[in-house]
Amino acid sequence: MTSFTRDLLDKAEQNAKLWLQPEFDDQTRKEVQKMLNSQSSELIDNFAVPMEFGTAGLRGIMGVGLSKMNIYTVKGAALGIARYLKTANSKPVIALAYDGRKNSKEFAQVAAGVLLHEGITVHFFTEIQPTPLLAFTVRNLKLDFGIMITSSHNPPEYNGLKAYVNYGGQIISPMDTEISKQISNIPNLAAIPMVNWENHSSLIKCGEKEVKTYSQWVNKLLEKKEHFADLKFVYTPLAGSAGKLAQKVLQDCGFSGMQIVPEQQNPDSSFAGLKAPNPELPENFELALRLAKKSNADLVIANDGDGDRLGVYLRETSGEFVFLSGNRLGCLLAWVLLVKLKLQNKIHGNELIVSTVVSTPQIRAIGEYFGIRFQETLTGFKWMGAAAEKSENFIFAFEEAFGYCVYGRDKDGISAAAILCAAASEWKEQGGLTALIEQMEREVGYFEEDAFEKSFPGNEGQQQMNGILSRLRSHIPNELANVKIKEIRDVLQGERVSASGRVIDDSLPKQNLIIYRAEDESWMAIRPSGTEPKIKAYFGVKMAYSSKDLADSRLYALRQQAALWFTANE
C-alpha cells in the first residue's frame, strides 16, 4: 500500500465512523460498518473525498457515503444552499423540481423539508418535470434560486442536483465555493432538521400554470406556422422526463404530424434499458429510426433524460437518415435564427451569439458572416448563461455536447426542438434541412469535428489525468498529427505561445485546458471532464466546401494523436 493510499484510507475511516452515529438509518450504518470491516477500496471511494458541490451542483452514483448521492448528501446540499442564500436575503424564494430517476422524488422532498425548515419559500413541482421548465420558471418568476434533482444524460445509477441563479442560468464561481463552505461546516448530515413539506404554509405547489406559460413562450418564438402540420417527425424523450411537456409544447405550436416512440414515451428510472439517456449516442435512436422509416418521417428528434439536450436525425433526399453532430446542429440553429433576423432587417451588429472553446470554430465564422458579435467561454452553460445575461441583445448559445439555448440562459432541448421543426417545415419543399446546411457550409466553409475520451476511475484517476496535462506542458509538442503547430493556448497558465512569442491571455477564467492550432487550421483541445472521471480531447478541421471529402482522414489522424497522448504515461 502506498503512502498516498494509506492517507486516503485513514481519511475514509475517519469520515465513515461519523456515519455510524444513531441519527443515520440502520441500513446505512450497517453498510458503513461492513466497509470499515473490509478496509476495501470501496471505503476509500465512498468516504475519502466528499462529493464536491461545484458549478454543476452535485452529481454522482447513488449509494452510501460522502462521495455518493443519497438523502444525507442531498440534505447537506440543501442546508448549504439555504444558509448561503440567507446571507444576502432574509426571505429567499426558490423553485424545486425533480426528474424520473430512481430516488429523485425522495431527494426533492428531502430538500424541500430542509429548505422550508430554514424559512425559505419553495415553489415545488409536485410531478416529474424536465430541467428547462425549472430554469424557465426561475427566470420568469424572478425567483432567487432554483434546484433541479436530476443527473441529465448520465447512466441510470447516477443522480444529482443542479443549481440555478435568479436569471435562470447555472451557478458560477464563487457562489459554488461559498455553498461548498457552508456544507463543509455541517457536523452531522443526518441530524439536519426537516419539516413536513406537503402542507407547509411556505410551499407553493407548481405544475399546470407553469407548463402553460412555458408553452406560450416557445410558441411566440415561432413564425410561418401555416406548414407546421405538414411536417412528419418522430420524437423520443428516451424514457426521461421531457416527453409530456415536449409533446404538449410541439402540439400547441401546431406540429400535429408527430409520432412518439411508445416504448420510450413515459419516464422510466431504468430508461427502457438504455445504457444512458443520451441523444449524443446514435444507438439510442434505434427504435425511433425504425418508426421513422416505417412512417416516412422527415426527421427524428430526441431529448436526453432531463430534456435539456437535443439530438437529431435528418432524412436526406435519398431517403437515408443522417445523424447531426452537436456542432452541426448548433450551427444550423444559429443559421436559422440569423437568416430570419436578416430577412426582417433586425440585425444591427450588436447581437450576440455564444459558444465554448471546445465547440466548432464554424460558429465564429457564422457570426462574422452576419456581422454580429461572437463570444467564447469555457466549457459549460454556466459560463454561456452568464455571458448572455450581460448582453441586451443575446440571440443564441450552444456547446458541442448537444446543448442549445434560444434567448434563455440555460440549454433547452424542447424549445430547440420547436425551432428546428419550424425550420424543417419551412424548408421541406426546398430540399429539406440538409439543403440548408449545404447552403450554410458553402457560405462559411466546411467544418467537421470529433472527440476522443478515456476514463480514469477511482481516487487515483484524477492524478493520472492531471499527469497527462502536466506532461504536455513540460514536453511541448511541435506537431499536431504531423502538421506543424502554429499556436498553443494554455488556459490554466493564461497564455498563448506561437512563432511570434509568448503573450498573456487572461480572457477566460483559468481552467486545466490546452488548445493546439495547426497550420492547416485543424485544432485540438484537451481537458479533464468536470463531471466524470475521464479526460477528453476535442478536435476538428476546416476546409473549403469543395474539399470536404478530405476531412475524415485528417480527423482520423487527430484521433490517433489524442489516443497516443492519453496512453504515453501508462
Across 98-130, b (16+ Cβ under 10 Å) vs e yields bbbbebbbebbbbbbbbbbbbebbbbbbebbbb
Q: Please say if 152 is a catalytic residue.
A: yes
Cis peptide before 267 (omega within 30 of 0): no
> Exposed (0-12), middle (13-18) or buried (19+): which is 6, by Cβ within 10 Å?
exposed
Q: Cell for 157? A: 445509477
Catalytic one among 67, 104, 151, 152? Answer: 152
Q: Cell for 395? A: 440571440
**Whether the Cβ atoms of residue 52 and residue 155 lie closer than 8 Å to each other:** no
Angle at 62 between CA 56 and CA 66, to 5 degrees: 75
Q: Cell for 557? A: 489522424
Q: Cell for 92? A: 429567499
**Whether the Cβ atoms of residue 314 and residue 433 lie closer than 8 Å to each other:** yes
In angstroms, the CA 43 to CA 20 distance is 14
**Total Cβ atoms within 10 A of residue 435:** 13
Q: Cell for 270? A: 431504468
In angstroms, the CA 284 to CA 118 distance is 42
In angstroms, the CA 168 to CA 135 distance is 5
Q: Cell for 54? A: 461545484
In angstroms, the CA 339 to CA 343 distance is 6
In angstroms, the CA 249 to CA 244 distance is 9
Amino acid at 76: G
Please state whether beta strands 523-528 and 534-543 pair in parallel, antiparallel, or not at all (unpaired): antiparallel
Which secondary structure element, helix H or strand E, spans residue 424, and what is its range?
helix 413-427
Q: Which residues are catalytic?
A: 152
